[in-house]
Amino acid sequence: MMKSVFLVDDSSTMLMSLKSTLEISGFKVDTATDGEQALGKLKSGLKPDLIITDINMPRMDGITLIQEARKILRFTPILALTTESQQTKRDEAKKLGATGWLVKPVAGTDLVRIVKQVVPGA
């Protein structure tokens, strides 16, 4: 069965490029443009196999999204894909339940490799 990835980023080009990359690699992709919209979709019953979220976003940032999403989906892997590289932010995300931290830009093949690594059965 096709695995699903939920992309959250306020950049339309990021969403477009990541969605294309993952769809070419055989994943089903849903998207949201900020943390609040993403949380709404999760509360509506969306159950992706993986969440990839930006950190610096309007309305609700990625750190808050990780914290709230973890209350709904306890075991779904969550990757932060961001330009931010500060260790304090990494530690905070890790403490709130993030699975990994990727600093933009990430090569498409590296991203696909990591996604397959963290999604069971992908």
Partner 1 sequence: MNNPQVNPGELSNPATMTAEEARRFQRVRTWVKWGSRALVLAACAAALGVMHVLWPTDADLRTAVIALVGVFIGLMAADFRVVRKMLAPDSVPDVITNDLARLETCFAILQKQVTVTIKTSEHAVMEMVERLNRVHRRSTELHDQIVAAVGRSQSLSQSSLHEAGRNGETIEALTAHQEAFVTARRQNQERIRSVVEQVRHLTPLASLIADISRQTNLLSINASIEAARAGTEGAGFKVVAAEVRRLSAQTAEAARQITEGIQSVAEAIDGELMAASQLDADGAANQLGELAIHVGQISQSLADVVPYLVRLSQDMNDGMQSVTTDIIDAMGHMQFQDINRQLLEQVESALGSLAEHSAALYALLGGKAPPPPQALEDLMQRWVAGYVMHEQRAAHAEIEKKTLGKVVGEANAPKLELSEPEGPKIELF
Q: Which residues bind partner 1 (CB under 8 A)?
A: 9, 11, 13-14, 16-18, 20-21, 24-25, 55-56, 82-87, 90, 94, 98-112, 114, 117-118
Contacts 24+ apart (CB under 8 A), 90-98: 92/63, 93/55, 93/62, 93/63, 93/66, 96/63, 96/66, 96/67, 96/70, 97/66, 97/67, 97/70, 98/66
All residues at 6 or more sequence positions from 45 whose CB lies less than 8 Å from its CB, including other chains: none
Which residue, 43 or 110, is less far from partner 1 as judged by CB? 110
Min. distance of Cβ 10 from partner 1 in angstroms? 9
Nearer to partner 1, 11 or 71 (CB): 11
* Residue placing its CB nearer to partner 1 in the complex, 40 or 91: 91
Query: In whole angstroms, how close is the CB of 102 to partner 1 at the nearest point?
Result: 5
